[in-house]
Amino acid sequence: MGKAPRSNGDAIKKRFQPAPGRDFEVESAPSIEAKTKGFFVRTVVLASLGALAVTGAYGLSYHTYGPVQSTWVVVGPIMGAMVNHYFGNHRKDSG
């Protein structure tokens, strides 16, 4: 209430102004994609191993391994697909 209204001639600085930066390098895009894939794979592997550890501890304490089998039914194909992707025979020079 103590401020006078501004006229159109006053320079109003916006709080968030876009700042021009350097151009996006197209060559860095595969590197960003690889980092994102690596983060995703590590997250899935750690979550899968954590789920197996929790169900394994549950199985040890209650002497039942049904939860471990159920968890492995879900985790096994996911882990197999990742292992096949990273360590499988998919080289371009292999015949």
Query: So what's the pLDDT on residue 59?
Result: 94
Assess whether pLDDT exceeds 60 at residue 94: no
Distance CA 37, CA 58 (A): 31
Question: Looking at per-residue confidence, does 9 or 65 come out higher?
Answer: 65
Q: Where exactly are the structural domains of the chain?
A: 29-87
Distance CA 35, CA 83 (A): 17
pLDDT tens digits along 32-87: 777 888 888 889 989 999 999 999 999 999 999 899 999 999 999 998 888 888 77
Query: At a CB cut-off of 8 Å and minimum separation 6, what does 70 contact?
Result: 55
Assess whether pLDDT exceeds 80 at residue 15: no
Assess whether pLDDT exceeds 90 at residue 5: no
Assess whether pLDDT exceeds 70 at residue 18: no
From the number of C-beta atoms within 10 Å of its C-beta (0-12, 13-18, 19+), residue 29 rates as exposed
Distance CA 3, CA 12 (A): 14
